[in-house]
Amino acid sequence: MKIYYERGTQELRMKNLRAHKLVQEFNNCAIEVSLKKEKIINELFGTVGVNPSIEHNFHCDLGYNIHVGNHFYAGYNFTILDMAEVRIGDNCMIGPNVGLYTAGHSIEPKDRNKSGYAIPITIGNDVWIGGSCVILPGITIGDNSIIAAGSVVTKDVPTNSIVAGNPAKIMRNI
């Protein structure tokens, strides 16, 4: 389902400011203070399973649209544009420099910067997303799948698949 939003509204600014403050606090935590980092993630995200782990230099738009399952791991420089929901299952691993982007803008240049749209992203259980991948709006990644490093995912990924490339294509089944 596509969600439309107006950039620059007071309500959106306040929600974004709340998220940015929590993200800043998270990114400035000492590395050994994992309980404090987990507490911030629980406050920032919509729902969080047990044992989440996110390395520093994490960024998001709103936070409350992010839902992660049990034993979630994300590497350095993880970015989620969560203007729509992002649901990530249990036992998922995300490499460094990965972007999950629910947001987009009109292809028409007039007023492109004043509004946008967002489409949810869903990632199943036991998914591994390699470093420097981009997952575009509206994508669903099936359980047990692997997204090879450097891939740009423009189409849904079936369960038990390995995809690679730009745009990502199925390389084989697991």
d(CA 135, CA 97): 12
Residue 110: both structure tokens together: 């007039």
Single out the residue of 63, 62, 60, 54 nearest to residue 31, CA to CA. Answer: 54
**3-state SS, residue 32:** coil
67 is catalytic: no
User: Is there a cis peptide before residue 167, judged by omega within 30 degrees of 0?
Assistant: yes
User: Which residue among 20, 59, 71, 105 is the active-site one?
Assistant: 105
Sequence-ordered list of residues with C-beta below 8 angstroms from that of 118, at least 6 positions apart, any chain:
2, 3, 5, 81, 83, 84, 102, 103, 104, 137
Are 56 and 27 in contact by the 8 Å Cβ rule? The answer is yes
Q: Where in the sequence numbering do the catalytic residues fall?
A: 105
